[in-house]
Structures are given as structure tokens and as C-alpha cells.
Amino acid sequence: MSKYQTVSYDVVVVGAGGAGLRAAIEASASGAKTALVCKSLLGKAHTVMAEGGVAAALANVESRDSWQTHFRDTMKGGKFLNQWRMAQLHAQEAPERVRELERWGAVFDRTRDGRILQRNFGGHTYPRLAHVGDRTGLEIIRTLQDKGVHSGIDVFMECTIRRILLDDGRVAGCFGYQRESGRFMVFHSKAVVLATGGIGRCWQITSNSWEYTADGHAMALWAGADLIDMEFVQFHPTGMVWPPSVQGTLITEGVRGEGGVLLNGNRERFMFRYIPELFQGEFAETEEEATRWIDAVVAGQRPEARRPPELLTRDVVARAIRREVREGRGSPHGGVFLDIASRRSSEVIKKKLPSMYHQFKELADVDITREPMEVGPTCHYMMGGVRVHPETQESTIPGLFAAGEAAGGMHGSNRLGGNSLSDLLVFGKRAGEHAAAYARAQAAGAIDDAQVTSEANEALAPFDHSNGENPYAVHEELRALMQTYVGIVRTQDDLKHALEQIQLLRQRAVQVKVGGNIQYNPGWHLALDLKNMLDISEAVTQAALLREESRGAHTREDFPDSSPSWGAVNLVVQQRERKLSITQVPLPEMPAELKELLKSE
């Protein structure tokens, strides 16, 4: 019954955050006829919410910085589970990607000698994050957007892609619907780049927007592609905890980069007690030493003291906060305190952290220049994603590429702050370039009309259900389930319980009913998204159950230590005959000179 509109391109990029925009710009510049398809209006994607900065070893502030140090920090932050070649390319190419943005009009904060300023962040040995106050993501997305509109790209706004269409095992295009009209669309293309971001809407407390419904992860899985590292979900240590309206909203790590300290309910600076073995000797061990570090940074000098433990990696800080709260040392609303007011002047706070100031003042009645913030962990970023070739970003399906958060492997078991914005620039460009090259060498595949019709009918089914539930109710239950049982700290029993419950929710999800018509109908859109979120929640939970160790963002209470044998493998998730299968894949062998880098201090 369903009619659909077909448009033809060489390359279709799904998602218009930083990775998608950068991929589309590059694909178009490489001569491919390129479409950019996004669920929101252009310029509203999740990149806009990135705050602290983009990591690149420009060495503008600290001349000792280099790609080698950035590589080492990234691997160490990921507890060595990262695909080394991605981490290497990322560290090597990030500086040029940042300078390129500046040539495209981005206006970063400046050093005294007029170059791009860089700030300190967790896990980075040196001040490395190019930034614009605390709105770096806005600067990056706007720069790419303004570059993109002059790049000959066709943009399809408010259009959701649901399925990758295959012809004989390779990409023939993709299928979706226009949110505004509800009409179905087929993008007939030689290559598809998934730049769909993450999966945070599977959790209750999250910094992620409605868009993060695991679309790309799920579409890749359904198409038969491999997913990797799915057990690693990053909980950012500092989300807002009060009032309930803003629970989970992000507070940039830049607050700690600018000198902010974490205090428990007894006003004790607890992070000194949580320095892991891997980082012993690299962090300040007394308040006095930490203060000397801040004083030097504020004065623009090279610090002799070691860094404050608040700048440990996110996995470490999030676990520490959780523990303080669990053991009864939390703040009144179940978080801890983050204090910048006693460390920096009111003027500096307003200048370097303007949107944090604004956000707390307007939404929480807290003046961060005078009093501490209350903070707690919030689901923030997906390390796992589509398994890609490190050079080309092509998945295990010919013609299907992925970049940014939708792709996995770069960050291993834990991402460093600032490495996401650089990741999406470096690998967005690579994905666009190689998707265009792939498209040049291929003839277009055929679209299977019967498949499209069947997809369309399946999509319309919720309108015919007479007795089903409201999709919002099922979604809220999934979020609560994942929050409680597949959160920061996991156990075998919890994970098994979650898997059982996901099966029950799946039965309810296929029955949900929606009212109204197909035009701009968020209830319908959510009903369709439930399938993505359930399948990917299951993938995360299965992988988390299998990995019987604690590493990076994956903490098992029943297996609290890291194990060398688990540290030698990545988990790869596939869907075969509608069932998930997980295999252990050995890490690729690293060249000797890179191994040396990881040893050197």
C-alpha cells in the first residue's frame, strides 16, 4: 500500500553532527554526489552540546606535547583495549583537523601570542583542549554547517533513517521517513556513512537528547555488520542532580580543568583516595601539591607539581563519586559537590564557563561563582559501535561506513574528554573520503521494492494496534531497567535479570499503539525507535555479562580486577538469524615502536 519517494546519490551520510557534517563535506569535495540526512534541524545535533574542547596535540601551550603523548594518553585512558591504529591516526591528524576548522572560520580562545589556546582535561598529560569557553561544540558544528552549505551537499532535515538496504550483501541505499510529513523515503546510494551518534536514551539519567536512540548501531547490526566494545558505556562523572528537571544535564569537565575540586558531603576532598595503580605517581597526593599545580596553571606557568586527582579519567571519577554517595558521604540530593567558586574569581568563571554559570543560575538557582554545584554521574557516551577499518572507516559490510560515536574501537574501554570532538573530525573526514572513493569504483546496487514495502508496512503497524500500550511507558521502563541493572557497576545476577526483562519489554514494544496520523507524530517515532533501543540494550547487556573483569567504564562487582586474558580481546557482537552472537577477537598486534611509547613515562 505504501508509496515512497526515491532519490539517488553516490554517498548518503546519516546524521549531521560533527562526524556527519565532516564526512559529507569530504565526500562532496571528493566529487561524490552527497546527501546529508538528519533527524533534527541542521545545527542542532548532539555535537552542539559538547562543552569543554577538542583534544589535539597542537603544543601551543605546552611545547613538550606531541602526537606520541596524545596516543599514549588515549590508550592508557582506554585501558589498552583501543584499536591502536585508530588511536594513532587520531593523535597524528587531530592538530591539522583543528587548524582546518580555524581556516573555515572557527574562533577558538587565544593564547597570549595569538594562537589557539589549550586547556587541561582529565587523562591528558598536557593542556591539550582547544576550546571556546564552554561552548566548543557549538563553535564546531556552526563552522562545519557554514562550510557545508557551500559544499554542494543536499541536506534532508527532520528525516529518520530506519534501515540499510542491501543488494547481494553490499549497500544499495537506505530507507526512512520524513518526520514532518510521515512520508517514506528511499535513498538509493552506493555508500552509506552512519554518523548517528550514541545510545544514551536507553538510560534514565543521561546527558543525551531524544536523538540518541541507537539508530546507527541497530541498523548496522540488522544489516549484518559487526559491532565492537559494546559493553563500554561512559558515565560522565558530573551531571546535574538537582532539581529533577535537569537531572543528568552535563557539567563540563572544563570546570575541573579550570581548577574545580570535588568534595563529599563532609566537605572532604575525596579523590586523593581513588588514584588507581595505573596512574600512581602521576597525580598530586596532597591538597597542597594540587593547589600548587592550579596556582601555576592560573599564572600561565609550567607546573612543577603533579596534577590534581580530580583530573583522573572519567571512569575513575564516576566510580569514586558513586562510592562516596553509596557509603553515605553524598550531598543532600545524592551527589557530591563540585566547587569552582573558592578556586577562581567570579570574572574568570563567567568568562571561561559562561553556560555553566547560566545553566545553574537559571535552572537550579545556584550561583556557581559563590557556591558549589551538586553533581553525579550521567550516561554520556558510547565507546562501542560499528566495527570499522581504521583507515577507511568501512564496516564489515561493503559500502557501509561509520564515524564518530556510532563507530567503535577508537576509545577502547573509556574515552578521554575532548577526544570525541577530535575523533569526529579525524574519522568523519576519513569516512567521507573513503565512502566517495568506494562509490567511484562501484555501480549502484538494486533496491528491492518488496523489502521497502514490507519495511513501510511494519513501520505503520502501531497505528493498527487497538489494545497496546503507550510507547512512552515502555520506553520509561527500559530506561529504568538499564539504569538500575546495567549501570556503572554491574553483577552477573543484575545483567541476567536485565536480559530477561528486555525480552518481556520486547513483547510489549511490538504491541504499542499510537494515535493521530503520520504527520510530525513523536509518539509514532518513539514507537519505531523502541526496537533499536531494545536490540542495542540487549547487545550491551550480553557483552557486559560475558566480560568477567573490570576495565575502564565496565565495572563488575563480582570481578573487580582487570584480567590480562580479557585485556587481550575485544568482544564483537553480530546478529545472525535474529539472534545475537558474541565472539572474542584478539587485539590487533601493535608495532614495536608504539609498544615502546606506552612503556615510556
Measured between alpha carbons, how far is 580 from 578 in angstroms, rounded to an integer?
Answer: 7
Asked whether 164 and 174 are in contact (CB, 8 A), the reply is: yes
Per CB under 8 A, 514 contacts another protein: yes
Measured between alpha carbons, how far is 47 from 136 in angstroms, rounded to an integer?
Answer: 9
Residues 562-601, interacting with another protein (CB under 8 A): none
Per CB under 8 A, 41 contacts another protein: yes
Q: At closest approach, how far in Å is the CB of 41 from another protein?
A: 7
Per CB under 8 A, 469 contacts another protein: no
Candidate segments 132-140, 226-234, 271-279, 395-403, binder of another protein by CB under 8 A? 132-140
* Helix orientation angle between 419-441 and 18-29, rounded to the nearest 10 degrees: 30
Per CB under 8 A, 146 contacts another protein: yes
Counting residues that bind another protein (by CB under 8 A) gives 68
Query: Which residue in the list 90, 256, 307, 387 is annotated as catalytic?
Result: 256
Measured between alpha carbons, how far is 488 from 540 in angstroms, rounded to an integer?
Answer: 13
Give the CA angle between residues 7, 12, 13 to the nearest 5°: 140
Asked whether 376 and 357 are in contact (CB, 8 A), the reply is: no
Q: At closest approach, how far in Å is the CB of 514 from another protein?
A: 6
Q: At closest approach, how far in Å is the CB of 467 from another protein?
A: 16
DSSP notation for 282-338: TB--SHHHHHHHHHHHHTTPPP-SPBPGGGS-HHHHHHHHHHHHHTT---TTSSEEE
Q: At closest approach, how far in Å is the CB of 250 from another protein?
A: 7
Per CB under 8 A, 197 contacts another protein: no
Asked whether 263 and 336 are in contact (CB, 8 A), the reply is: yes
Candidate segments 72-80, 229-237, 368-376, 522-530, binder of another protein by CB under 8 A? 522-530
Spatial CB neighbours of 242, under 8 Å, sequence gap ≥ 6: 332, 333, 335, 364, 374
Q: Output the CA–CA distances (angstroms, integers) from residue 487 to 254, 483, 495, 545, in the order listed.
A: 24, 5, 10, 12
Per CB under 8 A, 107 contacts another protein: yes
Per CB under 8 A, 184 contacts another protein: no
Q: What does the H/E/C string look like for 258-271?
A: CCCEEECCCCCCHH
Per CB under 8 A, 104 contacts another protein: yes
| Binding-residue pattern over the window 365 to 404 for another protein, x denoting contact by CB under 8 A | ----------------------------------------
Check if 236 is active-site.
Answer: yes
Report the relative pairing of strands 373-382 and 385-387 from DSSP bridges: unpaired
Query: Which residue in the list 97, 128, 236, 490 is annotated as catalytic?
Result: 236
182's torsion region: left (phi>0), alpha (psi -120 to 50) or beta?
left
Per CB under 8 A, 520 contacts another protein: yes
Per CB under 8 A, 149 contacts another protein: yes
Among 73, 93, 211, 423, binds another protein (CB under 8 A): 211
Per CB under 8 A, 479 contacts another protein: no
Residues 446-465, interacting with another protein (CB under 8 A): none
Provide the 8-state DSSP code for 110. B
Which residues contribute to the site for another protein (CB under 8 A)?
40-46, 48-49, 99, 102-105, 107-110, 113-115, 117, 132-133, 135, 137-139, 142, 146-147, 149-150, 155, 157, 180, 209-211, 242-246, 249-250, 355, 358-359, 362-364, 470-473, 476, 514-517, 519-524, 526
